[in-house]
Amino acid sequence: MAQTYTQLTYHFVFGSKDRLNLLDEPVTQRLYPFLTAMINNELGFTRIIGGMPDHLHILADLSPKVTVSEVLRDLKGRSSSWLRREFPALQFSWQEGYGAFTVSASVIDKVQAYIQNQKQHHEKQDFRTEFVTLVQRHGLTVDEASLWK
């Protein structure tokens, strides 16, 4: 086959260290465009970014030239440095680890709506329950002891 076709859509989830509520609206109004530009300029295409004060969800299509671990290392590393520079009072860090889940083209709209409606979703469920459910829904086993480092 002379052409290469990929559809590599991922749902990334990661939280602030110790799940501190540091990502308020003034921060996210600047953080989300920073992350979007980073993804769109170097890594792929951002579909949506959303979240709550203690965590983020990113839905993005990645280039086949990058690995998931590289993308998350760069997103978390560069954004935490940027946040510490732009908002020094936060003393910001991301938690170790992340969730990275593949998304089928048939459910992209559903995942996008889920991310867009985080505030309503979290009226019923906290981040810990949400994350454990996402991990289990994708057929993975959760190690609760090391989950929140």
**What phi and psi values does residue 41 have, to the nearest 5 degrees?**
-80, -25
Residue 143 lies in a domain: no
Residue 145 lies in a domain: no
Residue 22 lies in a domain: yes
CATH of the domain at 19: 3.30.70.1290
pLDDT, average across residues 83-111: 95
Asked if the model's pLDDT at residue 146 lies above 90, the reply is no
What is the number of domains present in the chain?
A: 1
Return the higher-pLDDT residue of 44 and 130: 44
pLDDT band, residue 139 (cuts 50/70/90):
confident
pLDDT, average across residues 49-77: 96
Residue 109 lies in a domain: yes
**pLDDT at residue number 149:** 58
Rg (CA), the chain: 15
Quote the pTM value.
0.92
Tell me how many helices (H) and strands (E) the chain has. 5, 4
Asked if the model's pLDDT at residue 148 lies above 70, the reply is no
pLDDT, average across residues 114-122: 89
For residue 105, give its domain range: 9-137
pLDDT, average across residues 40-59: 96
